[in-house]
Each structure stands twice: as C-alpha cells, then as structure tokens.
Amino acid sequence: MTKKFKPVEARVNLPQMDEQVLKFWQKNKIFAKSIDQRPKDQLYSFYDGPPFVTGVPHYGSLLSSIAKDVVPRYWTMKGKRVRRVWGWDCHGLPIENKVEAKLKIARKKDIDKIGIKRFIDECFRYVASTSPEWEWYIDHVGRWVDFANAYRTMDKDYMESVMWAFKQIYDKGLIYQGKRVSLFCPHCSTPVSNFEIAMDNSYIQITEPSTVYKYRLKSEPKTFMLAWSTTPWNKLVTPALAVNPKLTYVKVKQGQEYYILAKATRKMLQGKYQTVDSFKGAKLEGVEFVPHYDFYQVADQPTAYRVYGADFVTADEGTGVVTIAAYGEDDYKLMIKEGIPVIEHVDDEGYLKPEIKPWAGEYYLQVDPKVNADLAKRGLVYSETAYTHNVPVCWRCKTRLIYAPQNAWFLAVSKLKKQMLKTNENINWVPKYMKHGRFKKGIINAPDWCISRSRYWGSPMPVWDCACGERYVVGSIKELEKLSGQKIKDLHRPYIDSITIKCKKCSGLAKRVSDVLDCWVESGSMPFAERHYPFANKDQFEASFPADYISEYVAQTRAWFYVMHVIANALFDSHSFKNVVVTGVIMGTDGRKMSKSYANYPDPKKTLQKHGGDALRLYLMASQLMLGGDININEEGMIEAIKTILLPLWNSYRYWVSYAELHQFKPAAKIVSDNILDQWMLVRLNQLVKEMNSLMDGYQLTLATRLIQPFLSDLSTWYIRRSRERFVGADKQALQVLYQVLLTLIKLIAPLAPFMAEEIYQNLKTEKNRESVHLCDYPQALILKPAEKRLLTIMVLVRDLCSEGHRQRKTAGIRVRQPLQLIKVVSKSKINLNGPLVQLIKEELNVKEVVFKTNKKLTNLKVQLDIELTPALKAEGQARDLVRQIQALRRQAGCELDEQIVVSAPVWPEEFADYIRQKALVKKLIKAKKLVLKRE
C-alpha cells in the first residue's frame, strides 16, 4: 500500500514545530508510555539533583536539564526503564533570605520578635508560589520529567528519611558536637560549609588596608615584633603572637627603635635599616609582649601575651609573625593546645560585644579604620598600604563571611576519607580528570562537615537533650511518638520544638536542640529520602542504588556530588552514582558572570521562543561545556546549530518527501541496491550508528553530537547531490535508501534533537512503526564486512580527488557547469577504482575522462585537471547554464516537479536542444529576445 506523505514546508518554523510536538506528546502521553513500555526488570537509575524553588531557570540550569534529558532518552530507546521524577530543594537560606526580604527583616533577632511560627508560615507560602514557572522552560527545552509526583525536601516523608539517616550515622560514631572555627555568616547568624563557598559567586574581590602592627616586647621597651594583618577589628583581642621555630628571624634597627621579623620578609621594611642580630624563631618562644588592648583583663594569666612557635607560620606573606586570636582555624587550635585565653569579642550578628567599650555595638568591619587610627596615634602602626584580595561571602545573602569559633554539630568526614577515596574508584567520571583531580582532592582536603545551622526553615536536628546529660537521638516519627507520647503532625519548627521526651534517667524533660540541619544534608539524602526509605519502597531504592547516571555543573563536585558521596559512604559504605557527567560553566557574552545588571546574555525564554529547543540543545551538547570547559553564551552558536544540523536535515527530509509523493513511493521491508552510492551511504550510516552507540554508551555527549554535522554534510552535499537524476527518474533504490537513512538518522538524534526527530518521524512512519520516535528502539550497528570497510576508505579517496579538482577549477576561474575533457591522477602505486566510482568523479567534476597513471618516484598523489576548452565543450557549458537559469525560473514560478513548461530563449546550442528539454522538462523551446518561462 502506498503511503501518503504530508507536504513539507520549505521554511521550518522551529518554535512553532516545538509547540505542535509538545501537544502531541502531552495528548498521547508519550513520556508515560516511554517508561511503561519498557520491562520493569530493565531499570536504569537516574538521580535528579533538586533545584531551589527560588527564581526561574537560567542557562546553567537549562544546560543541566538538557544533559539530564539526553541520556535518559537514549537509554530508554536502548530498552531501559528510566524513572524521571522532579525534585525541589525547599529548605535553607535561599528561601529564608527571600522571606526575610518580603517581611523586611534585617537581623536574625527580628525573626524571634515576629515569632518563628509566622516566619515558617511565610516560608511555606513562598515555596508553594514559586515553582510553576519552571515547567514552561523544562517543556520547551524538550525535557521529559514527572512534575506531578515531584518530591520536596520539606515533605514529612522526606524529612523522616533524613531523620533516619542522621541517627544511623550518629550511631556509627560519625556525628559529634564540638567547638571549632569555621566560616560563619553574620547576617544569617549561622555556620557555612567550606564546600558551599567553593561554589561560584562565593568570593568577591576587595581592596582594604594591609597593616603592619608593632608589638612592644615587655623586656625591651624599644624593641617591637612586626606583625602583618588585614583585620584591624581582630587586633582588639590578640592574646598571643606566633612565629615559626625553624625560620630565621632578624632584629633590625631603624632610628631609635628595633624590629623583629622573618629574614625573608625584610623587603617590607621602609627606609634604611641595620641588621643587629639573626636567630631561629625558636629563640622567640615564650617572649612576653605588651598588648594593644586588654579589654578582657587577661594580662595576669600566664599564657597570655606571649610568643608561641607554630608550623603554620610562613614567610610567604607578611612578616613571619602572626597575630593569634579566636577568629582563625590554626589560631584556635594553637590556643586550645597551649591554653591561651580564647576570647570571642564579636557576637553572632557581627557586632562588637559590650566589653569592647570604645566601640561596643558597632559592626565589626566598620571599626577597622577607627582601630587603625587609634593604634597609629599611639605609635603602634609601622605601615599601612592598600591590599586587593578575594574574600568569601555567603553563598545566598552575599554577606562577607567571618571565621569564628562555633558550637556546632559535625559529620566526621575525616573518618570516612579512606572509604570515600576507595569508592570513588568505582565511579566513571566524564571528563576523566575530575576523578583524580577536583573530586579526589576535594575529599583529601575536606574538613569535618558542619551539618548544623542556627536557623529555622529546615529539617530539625533529631536530638533531644536532658539537663541531666541524657541524650535521645531519634530516627523515625514512630520512635518520637513513642518517646514523647504525642502524635507528630509536622517536623518543622516551631511545632517540633514543643515536643519533649520524658527522661528515663531523671524523669525530667528532654528538649530538642534548637538547630536545624544544613540543607545540603537533605540534598545528599535524595537517593533514599525521595522514596521514603527505609520506611517504604525498600525494593525500589535498593534496585536503583547506586544511580546509573547523574549530571550537574562543575561546582557540584564540591557540593551535591560531594554530599551524596559522604552520606552514601557513611550509611551504605558505597558510592551513590556510577556515571557522572560534569559540565562547565556558562558565562555571559562578555566572559563575565551572567548578570542582569551587565545585560550580557540573551533572555532564555526569548531564545527558546526564537530558535526553539533543539537549537539550544545541539549548541550546548556540542560545546566544550560537556567536556568540563566553560563557554560564553551566544546566539550565534544556536544559529550555527540550525544552519549546520537542523536545516540540512530538514531540507534533506523535504527533498525526499517531494519525490516520494511525486513517484508514489511505497516503503519496502528490505533494502537491495546495486548502486555504489547507495551502498556507500548505507555503510556510512552503519558507521554513524556504531560510533553514536559507542560514544553515547560512554557518556561522551559532545563527541556524539559532533558526529551529526559531518554525516549530514555527506548525506546532503554528496549522496543526495550526486543522486538527483535518480530521484527525478523515480529510482526506487535511491528513494528506499534515503528513506531508510532518514528514518534511522532521526532515531539516532532523537535524544539530542527530540522535537525535529518527532516531527519528521510522524510523517515518515508507517502503520507498522511505533507511535513516537521516542518509543522506538535505538538503531544498532551491523558488523562491517571487509569490502564495506574498503568502500568507506575508497570513497574518502574519491572525494579527496574531487576536492582537488574543484580547487583547480576555482584557481582557473572555470565554473563547475562548464565541462572539461579530463582529469589525470598520478600515484606511486596503482589506484583501482571500479566503473561506478570513476563515473562519480566524472559527474562531480564535470569531466569526460579520468586517467590514472603511476610514478614510483612520487611520494604524494598528484592531480592535474585539463582546463583547455574546445568549441564543443563551450557549447555544452552554455547548455548547462541555460538549464540552470530555467530551473531557477521554475522555482520562482512554483512549478510542480513533473510539470512541463514552454521556454522562450534568445539562443542555445542547437546540438544540445534535446538535452535542455529533458533536463528542464521543457515541452517547447522557442526563439525570443529574452528568457521567459510559460506554464501551460
């Protein structure tokens, strides 16, 4: 039975096509069918890292979504059942900051004033109102994902699984409560993890005073230790100085004063000086100095205001003398080790405490110039210069962070590192260098993870402490209900804060610790928490863990990838994913971070409405982003994808449909062709199928995408162009081969360009084919026979010969329509080309003969085109020119492919009149003053 093919428009409106395809998918529930039609025992597990509900998608999140769609589509077509459920990160500072702005809250204390309940209620409302806009973007980049059953980290079931995980890890001795110096946000009044500031936008460049301070020695009133610092506020409480015992120090004289500093740092001295002594830093240990301030009156303590030896002191920057205070990781460890008074003079919102009487209540950074002015006035500043450097800021509110001592809860990553490094070896990283580079180094250098937050909107710390010292760590709602005797309706604050446990030891009431968990604990718990494991779906979780595939951008190596790896190793002694594709970062058109204030990137929604989803997908998937590199976003890249992939594919498809309809083509079950071009095209297609499968299996998305354009070039500029006469002449073999090539090609690219693949498939498919291209099986390659491999190699030679012939024509200024007599090919050894291949060269180069010669002295192939034009050749060239002009007039007039026409022309070579009539479908050829086409 002959199939009717829908006529194809010459110009394709890609966004309009996308809308039609989306309607088809939705109406026919193709996404659901793509899962349901695959066997339940052929699972392919994919984890989707949940985005925060704040804001709308940007190019970075769209890149991740595309990468998360391409691979599941591919494995679905390979016969796998791929569950794809959306998730939302609902807790943490991102949401709290938005709600604070809405309620005009400036400080954490203001939340306590309005009441935690009101604040939490606003957080609930905010989360409920912000997510729907995502669906438009996700649909229009062609991503299939289940929004209806999306998991939310704020859901009770999810939070219970997080509670279970906490207890499991705690019971293994991997969670502890302690005091440690770590990053702290004064605005949010909560700790910040090291890996959070390793993400983008977590550092800013600032210029501030770089000061060298003078510390007078108690035993030598005219001798000073010189110490360099950029934190004047921290000089208000400096109970100790540190030197490196192994470094060489010098005592120099300038004027009437003596200064001590590391020998290697003398270049920072201003003016002439005289070196009076040289010694190792060990000699300075125990030396007493006069403090700048003694607000806390600790001068009488034996360990205060002394010099200590410390290996962390270097001469790389500063003076080789370090001021010791509570606000530094190394400082704090030294203070604990040596019993130095630990004094915290800044409160948890960044304001100086009452003891700092001159500046009590002032923000710590605002007192910097005042402190330096006071010390300079007292002659205790040696020098002050401007210093530009990067400082960490809060990843959400952008407040400058401070290193501060904190009572917090930590997950002992230090105890897991060996296991984490071992299981990392089981992960396939793309690109490979991430495995032993960024990710491995991140594990090696990682501190223990501060998992508690002094905040409100998050999963509660499931810990209840009694005044008698008894502690209850709870791992389920059922357990908490049993311990408390109360029904648990909600796990959020403030409700959970009201739940108490009667202490078995003293009969008192154990109360919950007020902290909530770092929201990254929830993100890292996603593999099991989204399924409410272990309380439900036990088999489903175990069958899907570790995931077969995840993908995010490079910063997640220190964030989501990392926290999943920590928690999976802590809970299951396992990695949590088998394959991971790490993308680079999309920058603005000017190379800077994308920012509305810079106006340096095209609006994503407008881009999709202008170019369509496939253009963005192909542009991003072919870019170095998928190899871990960065790019500057630009529309030209999308336009290039349209020009080099989508339009050539569309035009090839349109070309075939026009002749299939004209000749009433009927698809055959098998392809049998004796034509050399057909044979080559099918072998070339098989080669593409093999390479695409290999690269997609290996998660090499960029390399796979980059195969498409060269193939389309071979198809359109070689196979179709060299087969035109066969299509015009209703050659069944040519029609069948091109049909099979197109049908196979759109299946190959369906994961990458799902919209156009579907549009073309719907017109090409027969009743025997599946409903959607995305329900089809992915093409599989046949084993190439030796003769087929030779054909691929020989065709490369043929095309190279033709390319050289075209180059020589261009150099001579002779157009291709002008026939030439011959081309001579001279090689070291004999070239064996059969008749059809020689005929290809003749037709492509428009020559009458191809002559092959051998010359054993040659090292390279030599090609020589005979450019002499005889009268007969010129006449034939004129005839070909006229045919081209008539064909152009046919297109302008909208003639049907088989429509006969009448042509009036001033002149033509009489000996080629029949040729002109045949090639241009001319019924009558009439003499006239100018070239005119008439339709009958």
Rounded (to 5) percent helix, strand, coil in the chain: 45, 20, 35
pLDDT at residue 193 in the model:
77
pLDDT at residue 840 in the model:
94
Q: Which amino acid is at 409?
A: W
pLDDT at residue 600 in the model:
80
pLDDT tens-digit series, residues 769-817: 899 999 999 999 999 899 999 999 999 999 999 999 999 999 999 999 9
Residue 682 confidence (pLDDT) above 90: yes
Residue 60 confidence (pLDDT) above 70: yes
Arithmetic mean of pLDDT over the chain? 93
pLDDT at residue 371 in the model:
97
In the structure, what pLDDT confidence band is assigned to residue 595 with cuts at 50, 70 and 90? Answer: low
Residue with tokens 């979504």: 65
Rounded to whole angstroms, how far apart are CA atoms 327 and 325? Answer: 6
843-857: average pLDDT: 92
Residue 198 confidence (pLDDT) above 70: no
% the chain with pLDDT above 70: 99
pLDDT tens-digit series, residues 285-301: 999 999 999 999 999 99
% the chain with pLDDT above 90: 78
**What HEC string does 161-213 produce?**
HHHHHHHHHHHCCCEEEEEEEEEEECCCCEECCHHHHCCCCCEEEEEEEEEEE
In the structure, what pLDDT confidence band is assigned to residue 470 with cuts at 50, 70 and 90? Answer: very high
pLDDT at residue 90 in the model:
92
pLDDT at residue 194 in the model:
73
Residue 899 confidence (pLDDT) above 70: yes
pLDDT at residue 131 in the model:
66
- Contacts of residues 464-467 at CB distance under 8 Å and 24 or more positions apart, as own/partner, are 464/500, 464/501, 464/510, 464/511, 464/512, 464/513, 465/510, 465/511, 465/513, 466/501, 466/503, 466/505, 466/506, 466/508, 466/509, 466/510, 466/511, 467/506, 467/508
Residue 390 confidence (pLDDT) above 80: yes
pLDDT tens-digit series, residues 341-388: 999 999 989 999 999 999 999 999 999 999 999 999 999 999 999 999
**Distances 726 to 659, 802, 803 between C-alpha atoms, Å:** 10, 21, 23
pLDDT tens-digit series, residues 391-403: 888 877 888 999 9
pLDDT tens-digit series, residues 160-189: 999 999 999 999 999 999 998 988 888 888
Rounded to whole angstroms, how far apart are CA atoms 920 and 936? Answer: 15
- Cβ atoms of residues 5 and 660 within 8 Å: yes
Q: Which residues of 8-30 are buried (b: 16+ CB within 10 A; e: fewer)?
A: beeebebeebbeebbeebeeeeb
Rounded to whole angstroms, how far apart are CA atoms 665 and 663? Answer: 6
Give bridge partners of residue 389 from the DSSP assignment.
206
Residues 6+ apart with CB under 8 A from 173: 412, 415
In the structure, what pLDDT confidence band is assigned to residue 260 with cuts at 50, 70 and 90? Answer: very high
Instruction: Give me the active site residues, please.
Output: 50, 89, 520, 556, 560, 593, 596
215-240: average pLDDT: 96
In angstroms, how far is CA 228 from the centroid of its own chain? 40
387: which DSSP letter?
E
684-697: average pLDDT: 98
**Residues 345/347/348/349 CA torsion (nearest 10 deg):** -120
C-alpha count within 13 angstroms, C-beta hemisphere, residue 885: 17
> pLDDT higher for 77 or 112?
77
118-146: average pLDDT: 90
Residue 1 confidence (pLDDT) above 60: no
In the structure, what pLDDT confidence band is assigned to residue 2 with cuts at 50, 70 and 90? Answer: low
Q: Please tell me whether the overall predicted TM-score, pTM, comes out greater than 0.85 for this model.
A: yes
pLDDT at residue 311 in the model:
96
Q: Which residue in 69, 61, 18, 63 sits closest to 752, CA to CA?
A: 69
Rounded to whole angstroms, how far apart are CA atoms 278 and 935? Answer: 105
pLDDT tens-digit series, residues 609-626: 999 999 999 999 999 999
230-243: average pLDDT: 96
- Cβ atoms of residues 313 and 280 within 8 Å: no
In the structure, what pLDDT confidence band is assigned to residue 501 with cuts at 50, 70 and 90? Answer: very high
Q: Which residue in 493, 398, 516, 406 sits closest to 121, CA to CA?
A: 493
pLDDT at residue 133 in the model:
81
pLDDT tens-digit series, residues 536-579: 999 999 999 999 999 999 989 999 999 999 999 999 999 999 99
